[in-house]
């Protein structure tokens, strides 16, 4: 099992778009006409962009430790999918209607984790 610090450091280095290399290849914010509108679409999008190593690391993380991804991966999710930039449909769906982008990103991360546990 990986230590929490190792997992957090590694995830910050290679998940949704946080590194200069990824920023050079992908826009910082997904174009509005490509925004997912629900958690399932967002999970599918994230999983399609994750390497096998990324997936293994998220899967190996305990559910109660997913908070370690809040500032790195969660920030990327909020920006990239428009949670803090106008994607009301996803924001409402993922935040249970509260409009809280942090909560919405946390729910998306948890949904990715759950999907990986099934697979």
b or e along 59-69 (b: 16 or more beta carbons within 10 Å of the residue's beta carbon)?
A: eebeeeebebb
- The CA–CA distances, whole Å, from 89 to 15, 18, 29, 110 equal 23, 24, 16, 19
Q: Would you state the pLDDT for residue 23?
A: 34
- Rounding to the nearest 10 degrees, give the CA dihedral for residues 75, 81, 85, 89: -130
Query: Are the beta carbons of 80 and 32 closer than 8 angstroms?
Result: no
Q: Would you state the pLDDT for residue 18?
A: 38
Q: Would you state the pLDDT for residue 9?
A: 53
Q: Would you state the pLDDT for residue 29?
A: 84
Q: What is the DSSP letter of 2?
A: -
pLDDT, averaged per 10 consecutive residues of the chain (119 residues), comes to 55 43 55 96 95 92 94 91 95 94 96 96
Q: What is the DSSP letter of 85?
A: T
Q: Would you state the pLDDT for residue 110?
A: 97
Angle between helix 52-60 and helix 101-118 axes, rounded to 10 deg? 100
């Amino acid at each position: 099992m990986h230590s929490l610090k190792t997992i957090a450091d590694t995830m910050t280095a290679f998940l949704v778009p946080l590194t200069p290399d990824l920023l050079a290849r992908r826009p910082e914010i997904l174009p509005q006409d490509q925004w997912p509108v629900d958690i399932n679409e967002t999970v599918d999008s994230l999983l399609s962009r994750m390497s096998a190593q990324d997936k293994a690391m998220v899967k190996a993380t305990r559910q109660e430790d997913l908070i370690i991804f809040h500032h790195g991966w969660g920030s990327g999710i909020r920006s990239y999918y428009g949670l803090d930039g106008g994607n009301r449909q996803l924001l409402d769906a993922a935040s249970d209607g509260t409009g809280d982008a942090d909560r919405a990103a946390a729910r998306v991360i948890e949904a990715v984790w759950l999907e990986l546990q099934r697979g």
